[in-house]
Structure 1
Amino acid sequence: MRSIKSRVLLASAASLLVVSACNPDQTAKSAAPAVKETAVATVNGIAINKSRVDMIVKQGASAGQADTPEARKSIIEQLTMQTLVAEAAVKKGLDKLPEVTEQIDVIRQSVLANAYVQDFLKSNPVTDEMLKAEYDRIKASITGSEYKARHILVETDAEAREIIAKLRKDAGSFAKLAMEKSRDAGSKAAGGELGWFDVSRMVPEFSSAVSKLEKGTFTQEPVKTQYGYHVILLEDSRPIEAPPFEEVKPDLAQQVQQQNLKKQLDDLKAKAKIETVEAPAAAAK
């Protein structure tokens, strides 16, 4: 919880610095806003408004921090100290230092950019029609098969060939041999069972071998990969199917939202006049 508070309060400190930079004289003397707000504390006449505490509480809630009286008290204490230290910094003229004003400007731009993004997302909500169109597009692009297989992994080609010879005499002993011989700790206890998978999950040599097998057959030659030598049994295969729309709807919403945002940002960039200058070389140490 402390780390969450620290991150949230750090964001608040950044906001405080931005305010200080925008109007240092007002920060040093009085932070009275144009519209009167409820102050939860004052520091040498500088008001710490409830709205700022509420903002930090909201940020904390998104990180799993509960809104409790104790949490609010801690936030107010931190803001009080930050305000006091920021005021002292302004009085010393530290807000005029180039490195400080540069940092404040970066923070200000970041806050404004984030505000723009949030405003765009709010003004351009993702509709069910958009989600269904994206789902149909992805569904139409899905091709290929997925496989249900077992395998036995051994260290040498000779060991694999010995297992293949035994399977030729008794193909039904595959699971038993896997439990006895396989070096794959993840599937050994289950008789080499790998469950359903598509070939993209496996290394190329393994995928190639599986896709060439007929249902109920096993590899007649050892399959060498970076892990060793495999003997593979294909138990079943089926066309890859898209998951139900409702199941993937939340992920689709995020994906479409990001696509819309990227298009908007790309449009902004395309319309802008951007000139880049090669950065100077770093000073020698």
Structure 2
Amino acid sequence: MQPFLSAVTVNGEVISPEAIAAEAQNHPAPKSKPGIAWMAAARALAVRTLLLQEAHRRGLLPTPVQVAEGQVETDDEALIRQLLDETLAPPAPTATDLRAAYDAAPERWRAPTLYEAAHILLLVQPDDAEGFAAAHAQAVALLDEIRRSPRAFDEIARQYSACSSRETGGRLGQLTSGDTVPEFEAAMDAMDVGTISGAPVKTRYGVHIIRLDARAIGAVLPFEMVAPRLSELLEKAAWAKAARDFVAKLAADAQVTGITLQAA
């Protein structure tokens, strides 16, 4: 752990180990690899320091704005925003850019898929490993019973499901893309209509047995309909690239110790 406890300096300005440790709480990493969070935090603070130094060098004065109801920027946040607003001016995407982005993957732009499904939920707290194991074993047993008698699904849902849909035999009604958690939707996408999940499906809520009654895949949307959204995405991507390039230039001209900014 010792290598991760040293201070970082940016053009002579010290970022203390205590500040890095506090920032590391905002960078998830496996508990067995705390160094990942430490390095990410050190890089984030080093970049922040570089940007603030440049803002001060240019003589900018902070003018905080409200970013949400009851929430106003700090002076540092305002300075960084003002610096980037002053510095970055990526070109707007052209009609040709939009068309090329759409034609590269038109299947990305679909209307929502519609589902009709039913499920049996065995509720488990997200951090309860033993609970998930027990629920999985119970779900396997229930699946075996349902396979022997598919009509038993409704009654088993009423008896065992922790979801309010148990009152209707587990029926969830019509769902659209995004209505359920990604794990549940992925399971429905992988199933054939009229079938029951071949194995229990684990989500953040517990363990599910899913029956897919119907699915209507959304049609590919025409270019004209998605062009505004495409333009917004390309503008954001261009701005992000310009910001990365700007930070890379600052880093290349800076004297930084204790961390490398190559992966910042």
Shorter-chain TM-score: which interval? 0.3 to 0.5
Query: Normalised by the size of structure 1, how large is the TM-score?
Result: 0.42
Higher relative contact order (CA 8 A, sep 6+): 2
> Over alpha carbons, which structure has the higher Rg?
1
Query: Normalised by the size of structure 2, how large is the TM-score?
Result: 0.45
